[in-house]
A and B are shown apart, each in its own frame.
Chain A
């Protein structure tokens, strides 16, 4: 039961169309008069319907028809765009998604019931019986096959009929009387009747048929004999009925072989068996052998089916999202061009090697470097998607949630064209949903409270995305009540996360929000407040080498800022050495280099002057306990994270390097300062520094030391 690739394509396409439909409907909500949007809805429905019928999603096709009709009427001006129609369409879109996800074959009872329920709404919208075109509205029950008795069902195996029994495979031997044509019987008709009972294959014994030019050849006499295999649920009598009128003159034997379900194509495999049998011989002996063959096949099919069912289930669980990716063809063209260039470079290299021409080889090397850079960018670019592809989900989320919470909210998305790695976007969706839920539930106040506070009754959630350096910054802001820091404080003390008399800056209080199990919500709603969330959000974002921060303005709203690297695969960095060990400092965090002379013993965190200000400096040698002697002269790599500068001392700065990130094995998950590893050109390994964490640690220690000094 592997999914036909064409069906998979249809599914992917339908899902995309549904997303388009959702977007169009949501835009229609804002502007009901938009003709283009109506047309888009109609087109999406029309395409889904047509494809559904083609690829065996009968129910989708049937269901979608009604919605298509509605939008057709809107298009021609017969029907108005009403909130009711739009809501119903959104629900219908969800239902079609559910139908797409259901296993192939007749959909389960509950989905069919849901179809009917939604269709009633649509008929209602379409306005009574005269609006429902007769041919489009199937009577109840028509076209709706009963629930499938098992997977792998073939169309028309008569198992759906009320008098059906368990599926049986029969061997029918039919030796027509030679004069059967003369008395008006048409053998083909008999075959057709048999085929109507279920999957059916026949083998004709033609040995008795005389050659065309033989003297005894008579075109009006039938000398063939037939062996047929039929899988049906209708029982032996139904087969005998077919031969009712020829039984007296022809030899008809019906032998049940095995009970079980096979496809017509499976039956075909047994046809060669009849080649070796003689229509005149005793059937019973041969039947025994055939029975064994069929039973072996049945077992094999059963095993394959169970396995496939298991696999399909597994697949559905592990990978619900589509794994395919739509790529702008211009991007692909560019890549293909570069591959062409690569081929030419290779032949140039061969020439140079053959001629032992170092200068030519150096040329090739230079060109190759440029090309590799370009190809890398281009290949990574293929994985880049505009972040707007997930915005739709949020529009819908905000709409549905604010309705259920009794709040009014507008959702504004900016920077939809900002491109991000596909894996990042996929993994970003859930954290963003969570943050937006928080905004809606905790941030935005109910309309009356807003009015009292002098704000417009409708709240506003703004999601903006944009580039900043080598990072993408995503900011989710609301104009709600903001976060009450005293409440966080109280809660944190209650939970023992904070000493009652501790003096904590606001920034650190906000950071507590990201602690596991922390929630200030007084009641748990179905939306949020369970305290599983912000810590998971933070974990997910950090797993992508990103950071999350909160900004808070009490009474005016909160903003969550997510900073993410552009890509997960490759970074630019500087290779530095400490003792014999080699580390990479990501270029995105790098601000400059300084030097220092060491006269006395170094501490793990010291300070250094940079541009007139003192900044903390971390001795990597001491922090990492690198073996070897402390040199007298050290280089200081200045890094910056979130506006905080921190220096890192190293022995030597080797140079700029592109690092292909190899993430560390799970056994290193507790590791603090290392973000990953990379393999150098000579096969050795460098460790990529987790600069944000280093900076945070250094700042913390530095400020602590400063406080202690003040106390002294």
Chain B
């Protein structure tokens, strides 16, 4: 596992709005069509509720809302990515809503840049790196951090910054 993380590894890519994201394939347990979500009153807005995954109530998180990108609406492409995250000593299972799930990619370590430093205003610690695939930027998420933190993060600025940095570097 560690070795794979150091060398190139495989990632599942998905979109939230226009932005492409990637998470390590090892964290992904399954991908489901959008089931009926049961709302839990009193929970933060980005926690959309729970879904029944074979008899277990799995919490579902709207990453779009969490990243300040609006809200995931139900379309034919909407999916729930069920991920396993390490929490203390146990594994927790959480679902993440995605506008669409794209593909599984292999990224060489050279293709991954460290996240841009954005100053103290924007936390980037849940972004493990910025990957480049074709002409697209992929935000590689640190699954354990994204799903355990409770604040909403503004992710669009990171992408902007990254593309600006890339454009600046290229010209």
Contacts and interface: CB of A to CB of B under 8 A. Distances in A.
A4 B38 CA distance: 48
B38 A684 contact: yes
Contacts of A664: 40, 50, 57, 59
Interface in B127-164: 147-148
A43 B25 CA distance: 59
Contacts of A684: 36, 38, 52
A666 interface: yes
A623 B40 CA distance: 12
A686 B39 CA distance: 10
Given A664-B50, A666-B92, A677-B50, A624 B42 contact: yes
A510 B100 CA distance: 54
A670 B41 CA distance: 11
Interface in A579-593: 581
A668 B93 CA distance: 13
Interface in A439-492: none
B123 interface: no
A620 to B, nearest CB: 9
A112 B148 CA distance: 48
B171 interface: no
Given A667-B47, A679-B57, A687 B38 contact: yes
Contacts of B61: 667
Contacts of B3: none
Contacts of B40: 664, 668, 671, 674, 687
Contacts of B57: 662, 664-665, 677, 679, 685
Interface string B46-59: 01001110011111
Quick one: which of A674, A677, A686 has the most chain B CB within 10 A?
A677
Given A664-B57, A666-B87, A666-B92, A671 B43 contact: yes
A683 interface: yes
Interface in A288-325: 318
Contact of B94 (A624, A667, A671, A687): A667
Contacts of A687: 38, 40-41
Nearest to B89: A318
Nearest to A624: B41
A219 to B, nearest CB: 64
B47 A673 contact: no
Contact of A662 (B36, B56, B87, B92): B56
A701 B168 CA distance: 59
Interface in A659-712: 662, 664-668, 670-674, 677, 679, 683-687
A625 B39 CA distance: 11
B64 to A, nearest CB: 17
Interface residues of A, number: 24
Contacts of A673: 41-42
Contacts of A685: 38, 50-52, 57
B42 A674 contact: yes
Nearest to A665: B59
A626 interface: yes
Contacts, number: 64
Interface string A619-632: 00001111000000
A328 to B, nearest CB: 30
B39 A581 contact: yes
Contacts of B56: 662
B58 A626 contact: no
Contacts of B93: 665
A318 B36 CA distance: 38
A679 B57 CA distance: 8
Nearest to A620: B41
Interface in B26-48: 36, 38-43, 47
A665 B41 contact: no
A707 B59 CA distance: 40
A625 B36 contact: no
Contacts of A672: 42
A141 to B, nearest CB: 44
A668 B36 contact: no
Quick one: which of B36, B43, B56, B89 has the most chain A CB within 10 A?
B43
A180 to B, nearest CB: 59
Contacts of B47: 667-668
A664 B40 CA distance: 10
B10 to A, nearest CB: 26
B38 A626 contact: no
B50 to A, nearest CB: 6
B29 to A, nearest CB: 14
Contacts of A623: 41
B82 to A, nearest CB: 12
Interface in A517-571: none
Quick one: which of A581, A677, A685 has the most chain B CB within 10 A?
A685
Contacts of A581: 38-39
Contacts of B147: 667
Quick one: which of B36, B39, B51, B61 has the most chain A CB within 10 A?
B39
A623 B41 CA distance: 8
Given A626-B41, A665-B93, A666-B87, 14 more contacts: A662-B55, A665-B57, A665-B92, A667-B61, A668-B40, A668-B43, A668-B47, A671-B42, A671-B43, A672-B42, A677-B57, A685-B38, A685-B51, A685-B57
24 contacts: A318-B89, A623-B41, A624-B42, A626-B41, A662-B55, A662-B57, A664-B50, A665-B92, A665-B94, A667-B47, A667-B61, A667-B147, A667-B148, A668-B43, A670-B43, A671-B40, A671-B42, A673-B41, A674-B41, A677-B50, A677-B57, A679-B57, A684-B38, A684-B52
10 cross-chain pairs, A with B, having the tightest CB-CB distances, nearest first = A624-B41, A685-B38, A677-B57, A665-B59, A662-B57, A672-B42, A683-B52, A667-B59, A671-B42, A679-B52
